[in-house]
Chains A and B, each alone.
Chain A
C-alpha cells in the first residue's frame, strides 16, 4: 500500500465526485419513480420506443375502455339520472365525432353501434379488417368468448371491462375497439402520446446515466473506504476526533438522522410536487444525507482499521469495566457469599414481617440492619486508621507499627502486610546507614594503614637525599620519589576528608564570621605562592564587614582549595580576580583566573571527585579539592558554582548575609 495515492486532495475529489454521482443517481431514481407513479414507464418498457408498445398506452387505453363501457351502457339504458345524463354527454363528446382517435364497433342483441365512418360498418369482417389497418385494435366475439388484439397487457384487465357489456346480451355480441395509430385527433390518447414522446428519450438517458453513476458512486465509495485514515507518508491510521466517539453514539446519530429523514420525506409526500421541485428537493436532501452518512460510515471504517472499534464502544468499555471490577479475588469470594446470604436472610425476614406480619420478622430485620451497620462502620474505622498509619510511614516514621490484634478481616491482613513493609523499609534504611558508616570506616582504616608505610617511604627517601649522592640520575629519581610520596600523602588526607564529608560524618562549628576578614587572611597565606608563579591577585572587597553564618575553619578549607586551585592551574603571569559582592542579602564570593591548560571538562565535572581541569597532568593535587570545596559549601548552606568561558575559569560561592550593611 506504500505509495498509492491517499493524499488529501485525492480524497477530497473522491468525496465531491461520489456526492455528485449519488445526486445523479437519486435524481434519476426519483424521476423514474415519478414516471412509474404515473404509470408512464415500467420496467417492461425498456427497449421499446413506440408509444403503442408501452404500458402507459395500455393504461390510457384501459381508462378509455372504462369510459367507453360506461358510455355504451348509458346508450342502452332508457332511464338516466341527471348526473348520468351529464356524464353521458361528456362521453358522447369524447367518443363521437372528430374528437376521438379511438374507434369502436359494438354489436349487442342485433343492434350495432359505432363511431366509425365507413360504408361497411354493418359487416363485422370489414370492420375488423379496418381496425387492423388502423394499427392498435381489440376484438371480442361474445358468441365464441374469443379475444383478439395487439395491445400489450390487454388480457385480464380489459376482459373484465368488456365482459361487463355483454352480461345480458343476445346472440352475436361483439366489440371492436381500434386506435388510429396516426393519432390525427386531439384526444386523451394523443395527449398521452405527446407526453410519452416528450419524456421517453430522457428516460433512456436517465437509466443509462443512473446505472453509470451508481457504478461510479460505488467505485468512489470503495476508494474512500480504502483510503480513509491512511496517508502517503506512513502506515499509521490517522484518526479524527469523531473516531474516538463510541460506536453506539454514531449509531444513534445515524438512527436519529434516518428517522428525521423519513419523517420529513413522509411530510413532503403529503403534498404533490412537480417534477422540477421534487428533483431540487431530492438533490438537497441527498447532499445533506450523503454528508452525514458518509462521515459516519468512514468513521466506522477508520475505527475498524485502527482496531478501536470495540475498545471505543460503550459496550466494549462496559464489558472491560465489569471484567475488571468483578475479577474475584480469593478472599472476596467470601464477601460475595456473605452478601448473598445477607440479602436472602433480609428477604426472608421481610417476607415474615411485611408479608405475614410476624413480630420476629421485624426484630430479625432490625437486627440484621444493626449488624451490617456496625460491621461496615467498624471496617471503615479500621481502614481510616490504617490510612493514617500509612501516611505516618510515608512521612518518614518508618518504625510505625499497627497493633495487628486491633484489626479484623481484610484490615488485619493489610495491617500485617504494612507492618512487614515498614519493617523492611526501616531495615533497608538501617542497612544503608550501616554500609555508609562501614564505607567511611573502611576508608579511614585504609588511609591509616597507608600512612604507616608512607611514613617510612618519606623518611627513607629523605635519608637518601641526605646521603652525598654523586649520581645525577639517582638524585633525579629520588626527587620524583619525594614528590610522589608527598602527593600520596595529600591524596590519603583528601580521601579521608571526602569520605567524612560525604558520609555527613563531620561536625560543623557554625559561627558568625566576617567574609572580608577571611579573604584577607587567606590572601596573606597565599601572596608569596602566587608571587612565585607571577600571579597577581586583584582583590575587590567591600569596606564593611560582610557577616555570614558558617564554620570558619571549613570555609577557610573551601577558600584555600580555590586559591590552591588557582595557584596550580592559572596561567603564569596573569591576574587572578577575587571579588566579594553583597546583593540583596546575599554574599557572593567569586574567583576568576585564566587556565593554563585548555579546559575540556564540563563545569560540573570539575567539582566531581577525581576530575581536574586538565586530566592529563598528574603531578599535583588529588583532584578532590574542588569536590571538597563544593561539598563543604553545600554542607554549610551555601551554593557553589563553576563557570567556564573559554579559558576563563570562574568559581562562585554564595552565602546568605546576616544583617549586612550595604557595600561594594
Chain B
C-alpha cells in the first residue's frame, strides 16, 4: 500500500485526485499549501507527492526545493502554467514529472503508477542479465529483446523494436526518416512515405503515457527523431 500526498489549494481537485487514486488502492494524505505538505512529509511516511505550483503561503516550486533538501521521493508537479519554460523549471528543481492543468485524471493515475514503479522496481531491473540500454524509466534488454517502461513490459513489433533500439543505442543523436529507413530496412528510402513516422507514433503510443507529450522519443521537427540521454 503506497501512501500518496496530494497538495493543492483547490479542495475539490484534491478530493477528485483522492477518489481516483483510492480506486487504484493507494492511501491518500491531503495538504492545501506548501507548508502543510512539508509538515506532513516530516511526520509521515510518504511514497509520492503530487504538488500544485501556484498555492498560497508556500508555492509548489519553493516547497519542492525544500523537500528535495532531505527527501528523494517522486514528485509529480501539477500546474496551470503550460509553458515549456515552466515545465523545465519544475523538472530542474527536482520534480520527476510535470502535468499541466486541466489534466486527464487517468493520465495522472498512469503517471503516478509509473513513478512508483520506477521508484520501487528500477533497482532490480539492472540486475537482470544481458545487454541493457536505459533512458529514464525506459529499459531495453537486447538479449531478451525486452522493452520495459518503469518496470512494465511493453510489446513491440520487430520493426518497432529495431527502431527503438537504434535510437536507444545512439541516445542524443537525431535520426532522420531516411536514415532510420536505411538502417532498419537496409534499403534506400524510396519516395514519399509516412512509414517511419507511423511506426514512431505506434512506439510512442506503447511506451508513453501521453503520446502527445512524449517523455522518451522526441520529435525534432523537420530534422528527425531522437531519445535523450538521461
What is the bound-complex CA distance between A455 and B81, given in angstroms? Answer: 13
A472 to B196, CA, bound (A): 43
A residues in contact with B12, CB < 8 Å: 456, 459-460
Contact A552 B220 (CB under 8 A): yes
Please tell me which stretch of A132-140, A537-545, A599-607 contacts chain B, meaning at least 4 of its Cβ atoms lie within 8 angstroms of it. Answer: A537-545
| Complex contacts, B184 vs chain A, CB 8 Å | none
Q: Tell me the A446-468 residues at the B interface (CB within 8 Å).
A: 447-449, 451-452, 454-460, 462-463, 466
Across-interface contacts of B219 in A (CB, < 8 A) = 521, 556
Contact B17 A525 (CB under 8 A): no
* A520-B193 contact, Cβ under 8 Å, with A448-B80, A452-B13, A454-B102: yes
Question: Could you say which residues of chain B place their CB within 8 Å of the CB of A447?
Answer: 80
Tell me whether A524 and B197 are in contact in the complex, defined as CB-CB below 8 angstroms, given that A452-B101, A514-B223, A518-B222 are known contacts. yes
Tell whether, in the assembled complex, residue A515 and residue B82 are in contact, meaning their CB atoms are under 8 Å apart. no
Chain A, 417-453, contact with B by CB distance < 8 Å: what is the 0/1 string?
Answer: 0000000000000000000000000000001110110
Q: A489 in the interface, Cβ–Cβ < 8 Å?
A: yes
Q: Which residue of A lies closest to B195 (CB)?
A: A524
Give Cα A551–Cα B194 distance, bound, in whole angstroms.
22
A-B contact count (CB 8 A): 107
A517 is an interface residue with CB less than 8 A from chain B: yes
Residue of B nearest to A526 (CB): B194
Residues of B within 8 A of A454 (CB): 101-102
| Residues of chain B at interface, number, CB under 8 A | 36
Best-buried of B16, B101, B177, B220 by chain A (most CB within 10 Å): B101
Is the CB–CB distance between B176 and A514 below 8 Å? yes
Cβ-based interface call for B10 (8 A): yes
Asked if residues A459 and B223 are in contact (CB atoms below 8 Å), the reply is no
Q: Indicate with 1 or 0, residue by residue over A539-567, a CB within 8 angstroms of chain B CB atoms.
A: 11101000000101101100000000000
Q: Are the C-beta atoms of B16 and A459 separated by less than 8 Å?
A: yes
Within 8 Å by CB of A555, from B101, B176, B197, B221, lies B221
Q: Is A523 an interface residue (CB 8 A)?
A: yes
Which residue of chain B is the closest to A550 with respect to CB atoms?
B222
Contact of B194 among A457, A493, A523 (CB under 8 A): A523
Please, which residues of chain B bring their CB within 8 A of the CB of A466? 23
For window 82-115 of chain B, which residues contact chain A by CB distance below 8 Å?
82, 101-106
State the Cβ distance, B189 to closest chain A Cβ, in Å. 9
A353 within 8 A of B: no
Q: Which of A493, A517, A518, A524 contacts B201 (CB 8 A)?
A: A524
B154 at the interface (CB under 8 A from A): no
Cα A458 to Cα B220 with chains together (Å): 31
CB contact under 8 A between A520 and B177, given known A448-B80, A455-B101, A541-B192: yes
User: From residue 554 to 583 of chain A, which have CB atoms closer than 8 A to chain B?
Assistant: 555-556
Taking CB atoms and an 8 Å cut-off, the chain B residues in 172-218 that contact chain A are 176-177, 191-194, 196-201
A485 to B101, CA, bound (A): 12
Q: Is the CB of A451 within 8 A of B102?
A: yes
Interface size on A, residues (CB 8 A): 41
A residues near B192, Cβ cutoff 8 Å: 520, 539-541
Closest chain-A Cβ to B87's Cβ sits at a distance in Å of 14
Q: Please indicate the chain B residues that have their CB under 8 angstroms from the CB of A414 in the complex.
A: none
Residue A286, interface by CB 8 Å: no
Picked from A449, A459, A527, the residue with its CB within 8 Å of the CB of B198 is: A527
CB distance from A546 to the nearest CB of B (A): 10
Check B17–A459 contact: CB distance below 8 A: yes
| Cβ of A513 under 8 Å from chain B | yes
Q: Does A628 sit at the interface, judged by CB under 8 A?
A: no
Residue numbers in A under 8 Å from B105 (CB-CB): 458-459, 462-463
Q: Specify which of A455, A460, A517, A518 lies most central, judged by the most chain B CB atoms within 10 Å of its CB.
A: A455
Q: How far is it, in angstroms, between the C-alpha of A455 and the C-alpha of B107 when the chains are bound?
A: 13
- Indicate with 1 or 0, residue by residue over B21-65, a CB within 8 angstroms of chain A CB atoms: 001000000000000000000000000000000100000000000
CA distance in complex: A446, B222 (Å): 34
Kindly report which residue of chain A lies nearest to residue B201, judged by CB atoms.
A524
CB B164 to nearest CB in A, in angstroms, measures 15
Cβ B194 vs Cβ A489 within 8 A: no
- With beta carbons under 8 angstroms apart, the residue of A463, A521, A556 that contacts B177 is A521
Give the CA-CA distance A489 to B102 in the complex, in Å. 7
A496 within 8 A of partner (CB) = yes
**A520-B194 contact in complex given A454-B102, A489-B102, C-beta closer than 8 Å:** yes
Min CB distance B76 to A, Å, is: 14
Chain A residues whose C-beta falls within 8 Å of the C-beta of B54 in the assembled complex: 448
CB of B25, distance to nearest CB on chain A (Å): 15
CA separation between A448 and B101, bound complex, in Å? 9
Other-chain residue from A455, A489, A520, A555 in contact with B13 (beta carbon distance below 8 A): A455
Q: A520-B194, A521-B197 are in contact. Are A460 and B221 (CB under 8 A)?
A: no
The reply on B19 being an interface residue by CB < 8 A is yes
Instruction: Decide yes or no: A458 and B102 within 8 Å by CB, A520-B194, A523-B194, A540-B192 being known contacts.
Output: yes
B101 touching A513 by the CB < 8 A rule?
no
Give the docked Cα–Cα distance between A522 and B221 (Å): 9
Distance to closest chain B CB from A347 (angstroms): 80
CB nearest to B222 among chain A residues: A513
Closest partner residue, chain A, to B204 (CB atom):
A525
Cβ A517 vs Cβ B198 within 8 A: no
Given A523-B194, A543-B191: A455 in contact with B103 (beta carbons within 8 A): yes
Query: Within the assembled complex, what's the spacing in Å between the Cα atoms of A496 and B81?
Result: 11
Residue of B nearest to A521 (CB): B197
A525–B81 CB distance below 8 A: no
Contact partners of B220 in chain A: CB under 8 A: 552
A514 to B103, CA, bound (A): 33
Q: Are B223 and A513 in contact (CB under 8 A)?
A: yes
Give complex CA distance A527, B193 in Å.
11
Please name all residues of chain A whose beta carbon is closer than 8 Å to the beta carbon of B23 when the two chains form the complex: 466
A524 to B196, Cβ gap below 8 A? yes
Chain A residue nearest to B84 in the complex (CB): A553
Interface residues of B (CB under 8 A from A): 10, 12-13, 16-17, 19-20, 23, 54, 80-82, 101-106, 176-177, 191-194, 196-201, 219-224
Question: Assuming A460-B16, A539-B192, A556-B219, what are 5 further A-B pairs, CB within 8 angstroms?
Answer: A466-B23, A493-B82, A520-B196, A552-B221, A552-B222
A-B contact pairs, 5 of them (CB 8 A): A454-B102, A458-B103, A513-B221, A517-B223, A520-B177
The 10 closest A-B pairs by CB, nearest first: A524-B197, A513-B222, A552-B221, A459-B16, A518-B222, A455-B102, A451-B80, A556-B221, A523-B194, A448-B80
